[in-house]
Structure 1
Amino acid sequence: MPTPTVVLVHGAFTDTACWFGVVAELQSHGIPVVAPPNPLRGLVSDAAHVASVVSRIDGPVVLVGHSYGGALITMAGTAENVIALVYVAACILQEGESLSDVRDRFLATELENSLRHWTYPVPGGGEAVEVTITEEAFPSLFAADVSRTVVRVLASCQRPLAVSAFEEKTTAAAWRTKPSWALVAGADRVIPPDAERFGARRAGATVVEIDGASHAVALSQPTAVARLIRDAVQAVG
């Protein structure tokens, strides 16, 4: 079997830059990597976008999702050439479940009180609502273990998430038939670590936990994140 291609799916409030260190680590070990932009417009449509990226890749794929991206790979991972899933400080949903369902099951983090709401135009006229994290709350909430200089840039360059994405239901759970790995960020203040542990346990994932890691663990500890992904690649490849 050829070496699987790793497809990295970022989450809300960030972009592909969150994967730079992880990409460099994987490439240094000869692993092909694709890190597509995530539209952040809706659970179902975003998952379809990820699936379209996967469909263009010849050969096996290990699909990796951070945060909201975890919910997307759960659906997009049903593609035939996806052979493993890796969740990084992620939402791991089951069929018929929404992000709001997970939020309601666990104690709310500070996230909901730190969101700024915006409107944006939608096709056909009208407006919809999207959210970002306030710049004041972003450093401690999202990336407490990342340098202050980098965090200030990240806070200014946020990608907003459509509010409608919180209520959409997943249509499939690829982890039921595909092996999975999960990294729990022990000091995550965006997704409660207990929610990450619950999802990983329900999916039967191989779990690694990093104490003190923030939600931005892919930025703060790219070597550890890449190591988990390499473990998955080696196990299935």
Structure 2
Amino acid sequence: MNHRSRRLLATAATIAAAVCVLPVAALADTAGKAPKQKPTVILEHGAFADGSSWNDVVAGLRRDGYPVIAAANPLRGVASDAAALRGLIEHVDGPVILVGHSYGGSVISAAGTGNSKVKALVYVAAFLPEADESALGLSTKFPGSTLPGTLEPVGTDLYIRQNAFHRQFAADVPARKAALMAASQRPVAKAALEEKSTAPAWREKPSWDIVTTKDLNIPVAAQRFMAERAGAHIIEVAASHSVAVSRPGVVVNVIESADRATR
């Protein structure tokens, strides 16, 4: 073998060695640095809504790699609804972020207390009750809610009259979509809005709160009072009570911010 042939063979061997070694080195650099598991986001709807109210929020979170569950809130009472949510939390592997809209805020406040799997709470135009407070009492603590005049009792349940739903609940949602929401709304037991809450999870968990300044259900003054009392990270949005439908991107961003802040 002449000198030129030996040199070509040596060069080929060097290249082959580099091809073999580089991936191993890259693997060594990342050893023990596997990305942390993203928390499961559990979305708890409130009164006069259902799981579909989170559809665009679910789509945004899933696009960013989050496992998501839009829970079915029974809307029967804070204690029983929280028990149902706790059962779902226990069924999920790994950490959880609880997100509650409206009355769903009362439910996540109760369900998250003392639960080590819950890493953060996100309130969306929601109630953040203290112990012995009710949704009804908090919504009437400050003036501004026009909800009582739109309610239609059916037995022990309450609905929003369909012809009042758009303006009352979803003024910044297109009329056709708001009509579908009105037709598919879930009624809440009147007793659920009057039931007193227990010790809230926001006393022990970091919390974020989207305050809706165009809200006709929960007055903005009531929302600010509750958020400030809880020491929540406050994000104000000029939106109706149905901010998860009208501004889903805002909700997604706040949830993901809560995740990043608690890693």
Fold shared, TM-score > 0.5 on shorter chain: yes
Between the aligned partners of 1:194 and 1:50, the Cα distance in structure 2 is 28
Q: How many positions carry a matched residue from both structures?
A: 227
Question: CA shift at 1:101, angstroms?
Answer: 2.1
| Residue of 36, 60, 73 corresponding to 2:95 | 60
What SS does the corresponding residue of 2:147 show, helix, strand or coil?
helix
Aligned to 1:180: 207
Normalising to structure 1: TM-score of the pair?
Answer: 0.93
Give the aligned residue type for 2:216.
R
Question: CA shift at 1:204, angstroms?
Answer: 0.4
Aligned to 1:222: 248
Aligned pair 1:69/2:96, yes or no?
Answer: no
Give the aligned residue type for 1:2.
Q
| Residue of 182, 185, 201 corresponding to 1:155 | 182
What SS does the corresponding residue of 1:47 show, helix, strand or coil?
helix
Between the aligned partners of 2:139 and 2:247, the Cα distance in structure 1 is 26
CA contact (8 A) 2:139 2:217 kept: no
What SS does the corresponding residue of 1:191 show, helix, strand or coil?
coil
What SS does the corresponding residue of 1:170 show, helix, strand or coil?
coil
CA contact (8 A) 2:40 2:68 kept: yes
Between the aligned partners of 1:11 and 1:21, the Cα distance in structure 2 is 16
Aligned to 1:144: 171
Between the aligned partners of 2:213 and 2:187, the Cα distance in structure 1 is 25
| Paired residues for 1:1-237 under 5 Å | 1-78=36-113, 79-107=115-143, 109-119=145-155, 129-211=156-238, 213-237=239-263
Give the aligned residue type for 1:15.
D
Q: Which runs of 5+ in 2 are unaligned?
A: 1-35
Question: CA shift at 1:108, angstroms?
Answer: 5.0
Look at both structures and tell me which one has the larger radius of gyration over its CA atoms: 2
CA contact (8 A) 2:100 2:126 kept: yes
Q: Does 1 or 2 have the higher relative contact order (CA < 8 Å, sep 6+)?
A: 1
Q: Which runs of 5+ in 1 are unaligned?
A: 120-128
Question: CA shift at 1:69, angstroms?
Answer: 0.2
Between the aligned partners of 1:52 and 1:194, the Cα distance in structure 2 is 33
RMSD, aligned CA: 1.0
Between the aligned partners of 1:153 and 1:203, the Cα distance in structure 2 is 34
Between the aligned partners of 1:110 and 1:32, the Cα distance in structure 2 is 36
Moved segments of 4+, more than 6 Å: none
Normalising to structure 2: TM-score of the pair?
Answer: 0.84
Give the aligned residue type for 1:191.
I
Q: Give 1 or 2: higher helix fraction.
A: 2
Between the aligned partners of 1:182 and 1:166, the Cα distance in structure 2 is 20
What SS does the corresponding residue of 2:71 show, helix, strand or coil?
coil
Give the aligned residue type for 2:171.
A
Aligned to 2:3: none
Residues 112-162 of structure 1: CA deviation (Å, up to 9, x unaligned): 01100001xxxxxxxxx0000011110001000101110111111110000
